Structure 1
Amino acid sequence: MSFRGVFGACSSALAAGILAAAVIALASGLSAQRMPTALGPGGIGALTEVAPQGFVGSAACADCHAQETRAWLSSQHAHAMARAEPQTVLGNFDDARVTHQGSAARFFRDGARYMVEIEGADGKTAAFEITDTFGVHPLQQYLVTFPDGRRQALPFAYDTRPAAEGGQRWFHLYPDQAIAPSDVLHWTGMQQNWNFMCAECHSTALRKNYDAAANRFDTQFSEISIGCEACHGPARGHVDWAAGKRDGQTPHKGFASVAAVRPAADWAIDPATGSPAHGVARPAGDMVETCARCHARRGIFSEDWRPGAPLTQTHLPTFLSAGLFEADGTMQDEVFNDHSFKQSLMYARGVTCGDCHEPHSATLRAPGSTVCAQCHLPEKFASEAHTGHAPGPKAPDCISCHMPARTYMVVDKRHDHSFRIPRPDLSARLGTPNACTDCHADKSAGWAAEAIARWHGPERKGFQTWAQAFHEARRGDPAAREGLIRLATTVETPAIVRATAVNELRALPAMATEEAVQKALADPDPLVRIAAVQAMAGQPPDMRWRRLSPLLADPVAGVRIEVANQLADQALAGLSAADRDLLAAGFRAYEAAQRLNADRPEGRSNLGGFLLRRGDVAGAEAEFRAGLKLQPDLPALAVNLADLYRVTGREREAQDVLERSIKANPGAAAPRHALALGLIRQKRYAEALDQLRRAYELEPQTPRYAYVYAVALQSLGRPKEAATVTSAALRRSPYDADLLMLALNSALGAGDVARARDAAAKLALLRPDDAEIARLAARLR
């Protein structure tokens, strides 16, 4: 499993769903109800007694930065988290009762304490004290602190919007699901754990402090909420500088590091286009990277973040992966704003978050779409010639057309920040969303595409041109290869798109793919280099060492750590002293990154796999077993442990692990498939076939399960059933190489030339460098 397994959502079975990131994302517009504005001990901006060295607290900034402090106090950042007190709690605790699909909660007061009566981890109803508030608008969540240091987010949140907008009510965050106490989504489960899921982006200078041996947290922060130093870094040196000579010789005015400052921009509008004629160079480590720390879908591998560094120095952003983003790059799951914005032409031209949002209050610099008029001529873009709609109060504006919204957490409406041109023509072809039919829900995408063609002509222009390639790649279609290579190797393509293209190319091996990956290893953007390093998985050891070892000295930690992961099976003996030191340092860094996330079964699994490749079987076993202790019903971890037992000759123990996993999670396919392989090794074919069938039926969309089941059927003299399974699987996965090879052999054996021709033609596209396949396809034409 790759380094991305714990840090990049949805890139593996273990990673799926763990990066919902902050339980509530911050948005502009703060509810004024009972929000404290005082700075000082115990209040907003107060420094805790356990603050890391160098931190002073936001209250220390107020005297010199009064205007910024006032703006910050009005922001959601200042109120992202607080102790549960009368001035911070917005919910109704007047014996309020709420029910949801068989579960219920009662919110009440016990003297000064805020309480909830709700089902606990044991399935029994009990009263719990609420210790903290979490967020303010449009919803507020509440945390319960347990004796082992865990803070857990309750499943019922309070809608803080005005009653006229549907607010002032309790509601369940998973309205369509009944969540049992054994479910990881239960409020006492790991997916609702503040320490890992939320804390870094709702507090300042967080240290998770997980004790793996005791399975406890001692999580600490310098401020309970998001203070000045969350973005500017520790300010002790700056405060000392301000109290001293304030000379021009002290770097960064006493800060250890600062976000890079963008050169002066010329946003003068070209009357012909209605937009600025010029862009501006974007320095590395600018304001956008500071915001990305919390406004990106990402994982963390180091708590030593500092402004001015690329995000990949301490965090690993996800790619534009299926399930998170639509094929055209628009947001699908809860991914926040960074990945969307970095796909935009505005980002490419040098625009930063602060050009539209005042950094301290987080409010727009002008209301609504008038913020766009800072750089675009309203009269040009509000015209009927541009929008196709007559001007008026109901006419669409910049935001409705270029920043379509989705609602998350039931009531939290968020706008896509990729600023893309509406493309209903892509919707008609690829099924992607578009702003036109978001509004005209009763119309088809084809109808909208025809309307836009009437207004603007048949040629569709736009900066984002990757929908087709990503759509084909997600289908496994080899037609995607050329487009992906073009995206991956064109420097003008946004880096997040280049990285995604490299990642998608892993499924389409070819000499051309290999050349593109090799070029990406030297890409100027670290996320692209990380994708290229990961794409080297499975290559021969000597090739991996030759191509990856130079990156052990990469300036970005995320790259070095992934290189160490890919070189885990490289022996230190025989290397030069310099290479040995670099590789050993990389190994230590990778292990430290996983141990930072030892509270997660994914982190344990990653470390176990790494140690196993390093030859530490006992260490790997301990990590796999620890991961299963954290989440006993996690199928992928059980399979990993069973594989370890198998390769070390402990077949009986492997079978026991898999059988326990099946009992704990009977709906999981992976342990059944793995168990079947073990039964085949024991020549228990009837039992094995039953488990293969169950795995296939539980997860028919996984080509491997269909392929192995079909091969087993064929081997047991049931070719018709095998052909039926293969055909059905190929309808779901028409470009799976193993299934195509099976279909090809079956067709050739049956003398079915048409079916053999189709399979061979697809295989030739999948494996363009395979001369034998090419000759066979040519003969069958």
Structure 2
Amino acid sequence: MKRKNWLNGFVLSLLLIAGLSETGISNAVASEQTADSETTAVESEAIAEATEAIKNAAYVGGETCTQCHEQEHKDWSGSYHDLAMQSANDETVLADFNDTRFDYFGITSEFYKRDDTFYVKTDGPDGRLTEYPIAYTFGVYPLQQYLIEFPGGRLQALNIVWDTRTAEEGGQKWFHLYPDEKITADDELHWTGLYQNWNYMCADCHSTDLQKNYQLSSDTFDTTWSDIDVSCEACHGPGSEHLRWAQNDELKDSIPNQGFPVSFDERQDVAWTINPETGIAERNKPRTTQKEIETCATCHSRRSTAHPGARPGDPLLDHFQVSLLDDPQLYHADGQVNGEVYVYGSFVQSKMYQAGVTCTDCHQPHSLKLRADGDQVCAQCHLPSKFDTESHHMHEPGSEGASCRNCHMPAKTFMGNDSRRDHSFRIPRPDLSDSLGTPNVCTACHNDKSNEWATKILSDKFGEPDQNHYAHALAAGRMGSPHAEALLSKLILDKTQPEIARATAATMLPDYLSQQSAQVLQMVAQSDEPLLGLGLSSAAERIPAQYRPIFTVPLLYDDSRITRGLAAQAMAGLPLNQYPDEVKTRYEEGLDDFVHANQFNADRPEALTNLANFYARQGLTTGAEEYYQKAIVKAPHYLPAQVNLAELYRNQGDEVRAREVLFTALEQVRETAVVQHALGLSYVREKQMDKALEHLALAAQSEGSPARYIYVYGVALDSVGQGEQAVSVLEQGLKSYPGNVEILSALVSINTKLGNTEKARRYQQQLGR
């Protein structure tokens, strides 16, 4: 049951079978029925025991599988999964370690071999050139990284990497992952630092049955795996019960799924038939599960692991917190890829996903190769006589512009040379590029032409573009548009739109909470759609505390473990006396999940800060301070820990100590606007307005400054009698955030006070609209 009303109990119905007529029923038949019932009960008990055994099955190693599955092993051998991670030796190391050198901003690294070991001499955590043996290779094409062992069980990924492409393709050379930015030893992106740590960042997607095993008390890892690479059991699950099934004929009918936790049978008896009118294939029966897609998504998604131990077939959101579309660094407003997101978040936006396509409709599951070469994989479902024609793609046949993939799966390069295609299979929308600044493939190639030019060509050919695109709502939510609430609400309620886009709208709508949007969020809280629950629970802390339980209590009953934990932590510190015991139990269970998830990830400053925030909301200031300090020691650059620690001291009335933390943060964090804003408010509280304005100005004038910072700076200027300058600042801010309610309200108020009646009236009209 997804979300049940916590005011209701469970209702159990018992079906009583009685009153059988004696006529025509012999004792023999009755005895046979009794025997059948007993047999069924025995079989059911055996299946139940087998199911429980599968849950506790052990990993046996991929080599065991080759005894029976020779063809599958042959297909897998040499695949990217097979070569995901390997011990460093003459066969696996592809780079030139023949006394080669690489210069990076004046640091010359050397690569060489001594005896049977490969070495690099490069700048270590103290900035000094140090010799390190290469322990493992990581990946194989189009680049190969190298892992180096450090104390405490750490493996660190060197960010000087080898381009494994051919020389003709521009490869066979060393290059740095950050070629245009000098990354020194004190930078968080340095290869010895937190963000190049294999144990957290990379390990569980490059090896099988990965156990991170981090201990906060000693700050050490004891990370293990069953197979060094992505082997059979990474996708099929632990195989000990499958072996038992295979070796015992009498168990064939009593062990479900042949002993595996899941059976990938979603494509069984499925046929795709091309509709001659549309030229597009239709599935003969709907896809009813997500098991294949979510099993792939455990690695092929942008996500963080909250609860270890995921096995194939487990619900994705029981173990992983997946990224939605709200982060501009990951996705453009229309959902196109901006950062590394690993396919899932793109694919679930697509019409292919909605039509029932799974990963293995296009990709061979063992070799990982496409099921057909090039655009022929598209021709499986899209009639070439309709789509592979100049009348459709409007390019010279056989040219780059005529390729299905180049128009509908634009590629972006990550890690220097790794070109990856967007899997949202979208129609090019140059009209959105004009209005929202999103990229499009038309003018990316025809870079001497305008978006307006491309829009006209597409409109003349295919008709006016659909204006019911979720990009408009998500862009409004990001920019603080006065239309954001209405657009986000409409998107959430529109079930024809991708669930991930609607879930993203649910993360944004709490910032525009009103009586109308509250009703929409209540519907989200009661929804059976997993990503919607995730979206709301991840934003629940931004809902005012007095209203928060209205939305979070139903989420405590969500099917997804991640959502339940996020909902519970958003309720931490709120009074729960008026709720039934069952709600309190659900709350405690959710909190337990939240705490365990962050303890599991205590090697990260984000998790330590989450725990600190959790303690702070409950008034446990000693525990909160301890975890904030742990986070800062681990990652001095991590901004939330610094700012939240300062806020903890401020709440204790210690403004001086709070500012000490903030001034220290200015020297350690990259983006200082948040710190400058906090310092400005600190000085405002102590009525030191000269100092306050200095810091508020720096915050408001920073690149990409939030509308709130501009508003606060403008109001602060007005409060010291600098009304004209305040108007100038706010009007400049309005150019970046057109229609922002706070900025418009301030402009109405300040212009009225200054006697600028016409200006005030004009801004009042904008505010009304």
TM over 0.5: yes
**Alignment-mate amino acid for residue 430 of structure 2:** P
Q: CA separation of 1:104/1:283 partners in 2, compared to 1, >3 Å: closer, same or farther?
A: farther
Equivalent in the alignment of 2:451: 445
Spell out, residue by residue over 1:480-507, the C-alpha distance to the aligned partner (whole angstroms, 9 max, x if none).
4333222211222211111012223233
Secondary structure, aligned partner of 2:598: helix
Spell out, residue by residue over 1:216-250, the C-alpha distance to the aligned partner (whole angstroms, 9 max, x if none).
21111111111111111111111121112241221
CA contact (8 A) 2:205 2:230 kept: yes
Secondary structure, aligned partner of 1:105: strand
Moved more, 708-717 or 293-302: 708-717
Which of 293, 305, 309 pairs up with 2:314?
Answer: 309
Secondary structure, aligned partner of 2:632: helix
Inter-partner Cα distance in structure 2 for 1:105 and 1:279: 58
Spell out, residue by residue over 1:618-676, the C-alpha distance to the aligned partner (whole angstroms, 9 max, x if none).
11111111001111233321110011111123333222222222233486122232233
Give structure 1 stretches of 5+ with no counterpart: 1-51, 766-781
Equivalent in the alignment of 2:299: 294
Secondary structure, aligned partner of 1:537: helix
Equivalent in the alignment of 1:406: 412
Inter-partner Cα distance in structure 2 for 1:469 and 1:61: 49
2:103 is equivalent to residue 107 of structure 1: no
Equivalent in the alignment of 2:185: 181
Inter-partner Cα distance in structure 1 for 2:690 and 2:666: 18
Moved more, 541-550 or 131-140: 541-550
Equivalent in the alignment of 1:339: 345
Which of 235, 239, 252 pairs up with 2:239?
Answer: 235
2:390 is equivalent to residue 384 of structure 1: yes
Spell out, residue by residue over 1:406-442, the C-alpha distance to the aligned partner (whole angstroms, 9 max, x if none).
1111111111111112222332333322222233233
Displacement of 1:130 after TM fit?
1.2
Inter-partner Cα distance in structure 1 for 2:543 and 2:278: 49
2:464 is equivalent to residue 459 of structure 1: yes
Secondary structure, aligned partner of 1:164: helix
Equivalent in the alignment of 1:642: 646
Q: CA separation of 1:65/1:666 partners in 2, compared to 1, >3 Å: closer, same or farther?
A: closer
Equivalent in the alignment of 1:4: none
Equivalent in the alignment of 1:764: 768
Secondary structure, aligned partner of 1:507: helix
Which of 433, 437, 453 pairs up with 1:431?
Answer: 437
**Alignment-mate amino acid for residue 381 of structure 1:** F
Spell out, residue by residue over 1:385-414, the C-alpha distance to the aligned partner (whole angstroms, 9 max, x if none).
111124245551211111111111111111
If asked which structure has higher relative contact order (CA below 8 Å, sep 6+), I would say: 1
Which of 577, 591, 609 pairs up with 1:605?
Answer: 609
Equivalent in the alignment of 1:65: 69
Which of 371, 377, 384 pairs up with 2:377?
Answer: 371
Q: How does 1:478-493 map to 2 (within 5 A)?
A: 478-493=482-497
Equivalent in the alignment of 1:418: 424
Inter-partner Cα distance in structure 1 for 2:553 and 2:723: 48
Displacement of 1:540 after TM fit?
5.0
Displacement of 1:521 after TM fit?
1.6
Displacement of 1:373 after TM fit?
1.6
Moved more, 341-350 or 727-736: 727-736
Moved more, 199-208 or 629-638: 629-638
**Alignment-mate amino acid for residue 566 of structure 1:** A
Inter-partner Cα distance in structure 2 for 1:737 and 1:663: 34
How many residues were matched structurally? 712
Q: CA separation of 1:279/1:542 partners in 2, compared to 1, >3 Å: closer, same or farther?
A: farther
CA contact (8 A) 1:330 1:418 kept: yes
Which of 200, 211, 218 pairs up with 1:214?
Answer: 218
Q: How does 1:663-678 map to 2 (within 5 A)?
A: 663-665=667-669, 668-678=672-682
Q: CA separation of 1:667/1:161 partners in 2, compared to 1, >3 Å: closer, same or farther?
A: closer
Q: How does 1:669-708 map to 2 (within 5 A)?
A: 669-698=673-702, 701-708=705-712
Q: CA separation of 1:430/1:716 partners in 2, compared to 1, >3 Å: closer, same or farther?
A: closer
CA contact (8 A) 1:518 1:532 kept: no
Moved more, 200-209 or 246-255: 246-255
Q: CA separation of 1:177/1:751 partners in 2, compared to 1, >3 Å: closer, same or farther?
A: same
**Alignment-mate amino acid for residue 61 of structure 1:** C
Percent identical among aligned pairs is: 40
Q: How does 1:27-426 map to 2 (within 5 A)?
A: 54-245=58-249, 246-258=251-263, 261-262=266-267, 264-278=269-283, 280-321=285-326, 322-392=328-398, 396-426=402-432
Displacement of 1:148 after TM fit?
1.5
Give structure 2 stretches of 5+ with no counterpart: 1-55
Spell out, residue by residue over 1:743-772, the C-alpha distance to the aligned partner (whole angstroms, 9 max, x if none).
11101112323322343234335xxxxxxx
Larger radius of gyration: 2
2:590 is equivalent to residue 593 of structure 1: no
CA contact (8 A) 2:526 2:555 kept: no
Inter-partner Cα distance in structure 1 for 2:677 and 2:494: 41
CA contact (8 A) 1:608 1:624 kept: yes
- TM score, norm. by length of structure 1: 0.87
Inter-partner Cα distance in structure 1 for 2:273 and 2:696: 65
Secondary structure, aligned partner of 1:360: coil
Inter-partner Cα distance in structure 2 for 1:633 and 1:422: 39
Q: CA separation of 1:721/1:543 partners in 2, compared to 1, >3 Å: closer, same or farther?
A: closer
2:590 is equivalent to residue 582 of structure 1: no
Equivalent in the alignment of 1:22: none
**Alignment-mate amino acid for residue 473 of structure 2:** A
CA contact (8 A) 1:262 1:281 kept: no
Moved more, 407-416 or 478-487: 478-487
Moved more, 747-756 or 311-320: 747-756
Q: CA separation of 1:65/1:453 partners in 2, compared to 1, >3 Å: closer, same or farther?
A: same
**Alignment-mate amino acid for residue 267 of structure 1:** W
**Alignment-mate amino acid for residue 107 of structure 2:** S
Which of 499, 513, 524 pairs up with 1:520?
Answer: 524
Equivalent in the alignment of 1:16: none
2:620 is equivalent to residue 616 of structure 1: yes
Q: CA separation of 1:676/1:422 partners in 2, compared to 1, >3 Å: closer, same or farther?
A: closer
Inter-partner Cα distance in structure 1 for 2:550 and 2:472: 34
Q: CA separation of 1:90/1:424 partners in 2, compared to 1, >3 Å: closer, same or farther?
A: same
Equivalent in the alignment of 2:750: 746
Inter-partner Cα distance in structure 2 for 1:414 and 1:346: 18
Displacement of 1:695 after TM fit?
2.9
- TM score, norm. by length of structure 2: 0.88
RMSD: 2.2
Inter-partner Cα distance in structure 2 for 1:538 and 1:379: 52
Spell out, residue by residue over 1:700-759, the C-alpha distance to the aligned partner (whole angstroms, 9 max, x if none).
622233233333322222223322222222222233333222211101112323322343
Equivalent in the alignment of 2:11: none
Displacement of 1:184 after TM fit?
0.6
Secondary structure, aligned partner of 1:492: coil
Moved more, 70-79 or 480-489: 480-489
Displacement of 1:588 after TM fit?
1.1
Q: CA separation of 1:345/1:210 partners in 2, compared to 1, >3 Å: closer, same or farther?
A: same
Displacement of 1:258 after TM fit?
4.3
CA contact (8 A) 1:103 1:119 kept: yes
CA contact (8 A) 1:284 1:308 kept: no
CA contact (8 A) 1:117 1:128 kept: yes
Spell out, residue by residue over 1:112-160, the C-alpha distance to the aligned partner (whole angstroms, 9 max, x if none).
1111111111111111111111100011011111012111111111110
